[in-house]
Structure 1
Amino acid sequence: MTRRNWKAVQPTSLRHALELCKDHARERLNKSVERIADDMGLADHWVLYKYLQKGSMPANLIRPYELACGIDFVTRWLAGSGGRLLVEVATGRKLNHADIVQLHEHFAVAIKLLSDFYARPQDPTAALAALTTHMEHVAWHRQNVAQHIHPQLEL
């Protein structure tokens, strides 16, 4: 089984975002739903199962859920569904070779999926996800260059 590239995954619905967070916690952090619920401070893990089944979660539990799962797919989906793009806060750090290679890789995937979509218009989900991922990475590099004149301390 191949490992999922979590940086390139984009949620398509709120329920999908909740499931992706749960899957990330299971695959990367080896956490069960019971342990996620415990980390969130829920008294009963069946409540979390209910939220996942219905695809709804109270707003005050979204951040604890994402912290317990180690990834922020719900926040990304909420911003994306509102027509917004989230950019990770840049610290002004120097780039390494892997950063540029990763940027190029995301761009190549986005262009391939975009040209495939225009050649044979079908389901735009994959092309939209690739374009969103690429725009997030480009925006981060833009902010990193702007932040470079005032770098933050590495802790």
Structure 2
Amino acid sequence: MSRSHSKPLPTSLRAAFEADKAHALARYRLNVERLAELMATTPATLYKWLETDAMPINRLAAWEHITRSDYVVRYLAAAAHKVVIDIPTGHAIQAADVQQLQTTLNAAVGALLDFHAGRLDRDGCIAAITGGLEVLAWHRENVRKNDQPELELN
């Protein structure tokens, strides 16, 4: 099933780390001490990385995997003027998926019109357009994988 909307994009690397950390705590009860243990480092080192926004790049994939959150990765991609999408598993879609796509794209066009009419701020417009890009790209990848469906293990 397609994604219905984009998660809000953090406004700084610090906010991205905090969002990932908060997600790990709220959803999986992983505090910094447990995150550090799973990343094979000390809590003091992890605290230092988070406080200075200086996590080594070779630890970032582990951070994303352990927190099960992608705010840092999405922030870094956006800073490089890229859009991140979840790759679908390649499965048959339902009519509701296509209707959700249409709703999301209509909302993106509406946001663009509202922005140019002065009724919507820049961040709101960008969020709506990004959501449209993500859901459309999701469907593109799903069509590309149509002849090689995968099991959904999540």
Q: Deviations over 1:48-96 (max 9, x none)?
A: 2222222221101111111111012222222221122223223320124
Structural mapping, 1:129-144, within 5 Å: 129-144=127-142
Change beyond 3 A, Cα 1:7–1:71: farther
2:26 corresponds to: 27
Deviation at 1:21, TM superposition (A): 0.7
Higher RCO, Cα 8 Å, sep 6+ = 2
Deviation at 1:138, TM superposition (A): 0.8
**Comparing 14-23 and 87-96, the one that deviates more:** 87-96
Deviation at 1:101, TM superposition (A): 5.2
Gaps of 5+ in 2: none
Partner Cα distance (1:145, 1:66) in 2: 27
For 2:72, the aligned partner's letter is V
Q: Work out whether residues 21 and 67 of structure 2, in 8 Å CA contact, stay in contact via their aligned partners in 1.
A: yes
- The size of the alignment, in residue pairs, is 150
Change beyond 3 A, Cα 1:6–1:149: closer
Q: Work out whether residues 8 and 130 of structure 1, in 8 Å CA contact, stay in contact via their aligned partners in 2.
A: no
Partner Cα distance (2:22, 2:100) in 1: 23
Gaps of 5+ in 1: none
Structural mapping, 1:3-152, within 5 Å: 7-43=6-42, 45-96=43-94, 99-100=97-98, 102-120=100-118, 123-152=121-150
Q: Work out whether residues 114 and 127 of structure 1, in 8 Å CA contact, stay in contact via their aligned partners in 2.
A: yes
Q: CA RMSD in A?
A: 2.7
Partner Cα distance (2:32, 2:99) in 1: 35
Partner Cα distance (1:26, 1:98) in 2: 33
Runs of 4+, deviation exceeding 4 Å? none
Change beyond 3 A, Cα 1:144–1:122: closer
* Identity score, percent: 37
For 2:136, the aligned partner's letter is V
Change beyond 3 A, Cα 1:66–1:121: same
**Comparing 45-54 and 92-101, the one that deviates more:** 92-101
For 1:75, the aligned partner's letter is V
**Comparing 132-141 and 115-124, the one that deviates more:** 115-124
Question: Given the two structures, how large is their TM-score scaled by the length of structure 2?
Answer: 0.79
Partner Cα distance (1:42, 1:88) in 2: 29
Question: Given the two structures, how large is their TM-score scaled by the length of structure 1?
Answer: 0.78
For 1:9, the aligned partner's letter is P
Partner Cα distance (2:136, 2:118) in 1: 27
**Comparing 129-138 and 145-154, the one that deviates more:** 145-154
